[in-house]
Amino acid sequence: MSESVDKHRKSAPETVRVAVLTISDTRTRETDTGGDTAEEILREAGQEIVARQIVRDEVAGIRTSLIDLLANPDVDAVVTTGGTGISGRDTTYEVVDRMIEKKLDGFGEIFRMLSYEEIGAAAIMSRAIAGAVGTKFIASLPGSRNAVRLAVEKLLVPELAHIVFELRKHEESR
């Protein structure tokens, strides 16, 4: 690890305030295994879950929920699960892609690489995406428990606080 990355990680906040938004036409609070997985792993890593919602896979509802969560001063990051596939009902990617101001292309690329190691060529159908909306971070993950676990454990837990640190640094320089 480079000296500057190590220094930034040490300056990063100890706790990131995360909202988990599940996008699904069928999941309920009782059956939301992807959201449960994200919440559980993030909490175990010391992050604070400040909101948990489920919204239908419809553009207007997803957009409204994301705008509200991103406008909340108690939210540093939003993690979505679901709606990232290629079926006609999967619209999360389109909504999030239009909202992101600074895309972290490596997030989706590395997620698909890691996913390929687990599930093979089907990984190409994942449209996981992440980036910044102002000073907030958003990551959109597939809805399956295994995909959520992979993304949260391998990508978000190691870098989420560092990302939030970088985004806050942008805010402080204004």
> How confident is the prediction for the chain on average, in pLDDT?
93
Say how far apart CA 34 and CA 116 lie, in whole Å: 19
54 three-class SS: strand
The tokens describing 102, both together, are 């600074």
Say how far apart CA 100 and CA 163 lie, in whole Å: 14
Tally of domains in the chain? 1
Is residue 173 a part of any domain in this protein? Answer: no
Is residue 139 a part of any domain in this protein? Answer: yes
Is residue 53 a part of any domain in this protein? Answer: yes
The CA-to-CA distance between both ends of the chain, in Å, stands at 29
Is residue 130 a part of any domain in this protein? Answer: yes
In which domain, by residue range, is 107 found?
A: 3-168
Mean pLDDT within 64-73 = 98
CATH number, domain of 164, equals: 3.40.980.10
User: For position 170, what pLDDT does the model report?
Assistant: 53
27, 54 Cβ separation under 8 angstroms: yes
136 three-class SS: strand
CA angle 113, 111, 151 (to 5 degrees): 140
Is residue 37 a part of any domain in this protein? Answer: yes
Is residue 174 a part of any domain in this protein? Answer: no
User: For position 104, what pLDDT does the model report?
Assistant: 98
With a cut of 60, say whether residue 157 has pLDDT above it.
yes
DSSP at 129: E
Is residue 25 a part of any domain in this protein? Answer: yes
The tokens describing 47, both together, are 């992050």
Give the C-alpha distances (Å, rounded to integers) separating 112 from 59, 104, 141.
24, 14, 11
With a cut of 60, say whether residue 173 has pLDDT above it.
no
- Strands 48-55 and 102-103, how do they pair? unpaired
Confidence of residue 130 (pLDDT cuts 50, 70, 90): very high
Is residue 79 a part of any domain in this protein? Answer: yes
